[in-house]
Amino acid sequence: MLFFDNIIFSLQKAGGISAVWQNLISEVIRQNIDAKFIEYPDALDNIFRKQVEIAHQDIINSHRFNRILSQFQKVDIREHRPFIFHSSYFRLCSNPDAITVTTLHDFTDFFQAKSVRNKLRLYLNTKAISHSDAVVCVSENTKNDLLRIVPDIDPSKIHVIYNGVSDDYHPIQHIPYDRYRNSVLFIGGRSGYKNFEFVLKALSGTDYRLLICGAEITMAEKKSLDTHIPGQYDFIKHPDNTELNKIYNSVHCLAYPSSYEGFGIPVLEAQRAGCPVIALN
């Protein structure tokens, strides 16, 4: 029996981890693997959770949820035989019969500013990793970071399994949105290491537009946009896979200039859709 902890769907509305998790559990369901899924309030607000159908009888609803505290609480599963437990976001199970698998996407919190929030997340990550029976790293880069940052980990329990990409991404013969033909796409988070400001400066003084997909534009970002590329940008809030594939097939290219990534799923999505990618080394 497998138990999947779907907490990531309640922690974010979209994002790379949500995309990976949705593809993973969709494949588990497609193959009729015996599994249960633990879910929390607001899970269906996540755009990737909306794209997977889980049978009602396979969902274990947990109504006790706090966005901060729940991340540090062990999951209570009352099973009296060994089972596999896999959390979507660095949680452990209180049942001693649990065989725990943790997927490590990156060490972003280690390389970013050492805020209290990032320190807590790093503690959460390393604790889950240290107490897991198996750790899946999504790239060799992430594995190398893990071995450097958690040097006492047993290397034999680390498994590199690369992220795949949904079949929803593919080339389309015609350009779905001609209005985005001259646009550079920026998708996902826009915090410091994503170098959003760098893209604005690069586009300043050019004829290219910027298409932003993701969370709402903040006041600070709007001020910067209006300073560098006034009137030359568009915004789409969290497009689903079908819509995003049309966008990849329409834009001039994807700009993905992150200073650090464990993997970088949008790069793979764009390439699968036939969209050129501009990234840092």
Domain ranges of the chain: 2-160, 178-279
The pLDDT of residue 113 is above 70: no
- What does pTM read for this prediction? 0.84
63: burial class by Cβ within 10 Å (0-12, 13-18, 19+)? exposed
> What's the average model confidence in pLDDT over 70-98?
93
Q: Which CATH class is domain 178-279?
A: alpha beta
Q: Please, which pLDDT band fits residue 187 given cuts at 50, 70 and 90?
A: very high
Q: Tokens for 173, please give them.
A: 């013969």
Q: What is the Cα gyration radius of the chain? A: 20
Mean per-residue pLDDT, 90-101: 95
Q: Is the pLDDT reported for residue 175 higher than 70?
A: yes
216: helix, strand or coil? coil
The topology (CATH level 3) of 2-160 is Rossmann fold (3.40.50)
Reply yes or no on whether the pLDDT at 174 is more than 80. Answer: yes
Residue 273's Cβ-side half-sphere holds a number of Cα atoms within 13 Å equal to 31
Predicted pLDDT of residue 112: 67
Question: CA 217, CA 238: separation in Å to the nearest integer?
Answer: 12
Q: How confident is the model at residue 275 (pLDDT cuts 50, 70, 90)?
A: very high
> Would you say residue 27 has pLDDT above 80?
yes
3-state secondary structure of 236: strand
- pLDDT cut 90: percent of the chain above it: 77
What is the residue-averaged pLDDT of the chain? 93
Could you tell me the strand order of the sheet in which 209-214 lies?
233-237, 209-214, 183-187, 253-256, 277-279
Task: Assess whether pLDDT exceeds 90 at residue 124.
Answer: no
Q: What is the pLDDT of residues 54-83, one digit of tens each?
A: 999 999 998 888 888 888 889 999 999 999
**Cβ-proximal residues to 40 (8 Å cutoff; 6+ apart), any chain:** 6, 7, 9, 10, 61, 62, 63, 65, 70
Measure the CA–CA gap between 154 and 137, rounded to whole angstroms.
Answer: 14
Predicted local distance difference test score (pLDDT) of residue 191: 86
Q: pLDDT digits over 212-247, tens only?
A: 999 999 999 999 999 999 999 999 999 989 999 999
Unique residue bearing structure tokens 């600070």 = 220
CA distance 235 to 215: 9
Least confident of 22-31, 84-93, 121-130: 121-130
The two counts, helices (H) then strands (E), for the chain are 9, 12
Q: What is the pLDDT of residue 83?
A: 97
Q: Of the candidates 230, 104, 214, which has an alpha carbon nearest to the alpha carbon of residue 157?
A: 104
Q: What is the mean pLDDT of residues 184-206?
A: 94
Helix axes 196-203, 219-228, angle to 10 degrees: 20
Rounded to whole angstroms, the Cα distance separating 30 from 53 reads 10
250-279 average pLDDT score: 95
The share of the chain scoring above pLDDT 70, in percent, equals: 99
Beta carbons of 233 and 225 less than 8 angstroms apart: yes
What is the pLDDT, as a whole number, of residue 40? 92
